[in-house]
């Protein structure tokens, strides 16, 4: 199978989630991703459990497994002179280097962009940091929750003011990390194309998680820039046409979208309230937005009278977009998700088999399981750098690997 990134080698010095997620995406597309980890310890994410794939307290947490398929793991101590030399040699044989250390850390070991660019002018060097390489916060550490708070994402998420439990709320998933990984993979692909089609040279990519969080506000932020008015929190409601909202039925929650004129008419007909289609308070998109609270109060009372299954069947028959609010087991039982192959089983070195979340880009490269710590150290040093078994033993004895 020919893959889009066959022949591209990525030296992955990153840890935790955002940058490893980016390199995983590139590995899915066929890149040879060499994951560099600390000897004996590895990527911090290996310890982010339970749950663990292996024994309790092992080093393959579910968190780690989520962002490290299609990679080879080697262990190198970059803080040792011999380890730093190995990384320089590997960078000379690579197309891309990805790292997420604090600004300036790797430069102290001769592993910053300028040093490695001089060694390999074609190298694309991507730094993923909390706040970027410059500015008053550049030296700070940061994590997803910090960026959800600082970017404003929390301010537009959560229960509306005046309701029980009102207040800002973090998105459950580490959403800024995931978005930063997507931005990083896109930036790297663009830099590779520019190198190969235009300049012949690599470039430096400075990606900030805070920047990604702000960019993710999209129309919420743009509406603020246009109007000067911050968006109110809408809980489980949308910000566009009405309704786009979760509703509590007699036994469970469903989510309904009926923002267009045709959808609104089909919705109220399916609910047995066709007169609402022509009610001047609800008849147009603008009227429903202006009377949002009344629309939702009216629909709340109707949905509460029947089970979720009853309303879902009626709305699906009327071609009104609707879904149950699924717990995790129902997600993977969903026939559409099963059909699309979003859960895949791959062979694993010690576990025999492990289930992973598939890449939604279809098709991608065949999957290999996330590697054991240092599983490919000898293989990579022999294959790429020509080290002999005696060389490797000496490096291991000296603590460089």
pLDDT tens digits, one per residue of 39-76 = 999 999 999 999 999 877 788 999 999 999 999 999 99
pLDDT tens-digit series, residues 100-152: 999 999 999 999 999 999 999 999 999 999 999 999 999 999 899 999 999 99
Q: How far is CA 129 from the centre of its chain?
A: 15
Active site residue 391: no
Please give the pLDDT value at position 239.
73
CATH 3.30.1540.10, the chain: domain bounds: 244-325
Q: How far apart are CA 282 and CA 271, in angstroms?
A: 15
Instruction: Please tell me the CATH code under which domain 9-215+340-397 is placed.
Output: 3.40.50.10540
Please give the pLDDT value at position 58.
80
Contact between 117 and 123 (Cβ < 8 Å): yes
Q: Would residue 207 be called left, alpha or beta, if left means φ above 0 and alpha means ψ between -120 and 50 degrees?
A: beta
pLDDT at 240 over 80: no
CATH 3.30.1540.10 fits 244-325, yes or no: yes
Please give the pLDDT value at position 170.
96
Please give the pLDDT value at position 295.
96
Closest of 78, 70, 90, 106 to residue 185, by C-alpha: 70
Mean pLDDT on 183-209: 98
Please give the pLDDT value at position 241.
81
12, 77, 95, 177: which one is catalytic? 177
Please give the pLDDT value at position 322.
97
Q: What is the C-alpha R_g of the chain?
A: 25
Q: Which residues contact 105 (CB under 8 A, 6 or more apart)?
A: none
pLDDT tens-digit series, residues 346-389: 999 999 999 999 999 977 768 999 999 999 999 999 999 999 99
Q: How far apart are CA 214 and CA 180, in angstroms?
A: 11
Please give the pLDDT value at position 364.
73
Please give the pLDDT value at position 185.
98
Of all residues in the chain, what percent carry a pLDDT higher than 70? Answer: 100
Mean pLDDT on 19-39: 97
pLDDT at 27 over 80: yes
CATH 3.40.50.10540, the chain: domain bounds: 9-215+340-397
Please give the pLDDT value at position 206.
98
Least confident of 215-219, 233-237, 279-283: 233-237
pLDDT at 1 over 80: no
Please give the pLDDT value at position 362.
77
């Amino acid at each position: 199978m020919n893959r889009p990134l066959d022949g591209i080698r990525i030296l992955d010095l990153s840890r935790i989630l955002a940058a490893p997620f980016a390199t995983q995406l590139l590995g899915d597309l066929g890149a040879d991703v060499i994951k560099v980890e600390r000897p004996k310890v590895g990527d911090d994410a290996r310890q982010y459990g339970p749950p663990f794939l292996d024994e309790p307290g092992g080093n393959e947490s579910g968190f780690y497994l989520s962002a490290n398929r299609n990679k080879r793991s080697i262990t190198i101590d970059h803080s040792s002179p011999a380890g730093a030399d190995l990384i320089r040699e590997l960078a000379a044989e690579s197309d891309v280097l990805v790292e997420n250390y604090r600004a300036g850390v790797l430069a102290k070991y001769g592993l910053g962009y300028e040093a490695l660019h001089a060694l390999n002018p074609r190298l694309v060097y991507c730094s993923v940091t909390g706040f970027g390489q410059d500015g008053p916060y550049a030296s700070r550490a940061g994590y997803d929750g910090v960026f959800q708070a600082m970017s404003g994402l929390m301010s537009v998420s959560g229960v509306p003011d005046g309701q029980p439990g009102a207040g800002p709320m973090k998105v459950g998933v580490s959403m800024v990390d995931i978005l930063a990984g997507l931005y990083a993979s896109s930036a790297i692909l663009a830099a590779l194309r520019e190198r190969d089609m235009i300049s012949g040279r690599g470039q430096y990519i400075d990606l900030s998680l805070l920047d990604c969080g702000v960019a993710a506000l999209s129309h919420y932020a743009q509406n603020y820039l246009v109007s000067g008015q911050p968006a109110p929190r809408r809980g489980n409601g949308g910000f566009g046409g009405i309704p786009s909202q979760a509703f509590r039925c007699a036994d469970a929650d469903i989510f309904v979208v009926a923002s267009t004129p045709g959808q609104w008419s089909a919705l109220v007909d399916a609910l047995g309230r066709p007169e609402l289609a022509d009610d001047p308070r609800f008849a147009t998109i603008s009227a429903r937005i202006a009377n949002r609270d009344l629309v939702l109060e009216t629909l709340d009372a109707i949905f509460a009278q029947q089970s979720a299954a009853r309303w879902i069947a009626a709305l699906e028959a009327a071609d009104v977009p609707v879904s149950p609010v699924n717990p995790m087991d129902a997600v993977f039982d969903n026939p559409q998700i099963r059909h699309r192959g979003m859960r895949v089983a791959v062979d694993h070195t010690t576990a025999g088999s492990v289930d992973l979340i598939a890449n939604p880009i279809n098709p991608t490269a065949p999957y290999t399981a996330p590697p054991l710590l240092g599983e490919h150290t000898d293989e990579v040093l022999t294959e790429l750098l020509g080290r002999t078994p005696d060389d490797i033993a000496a490096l291991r004895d000296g603590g460089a690997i």
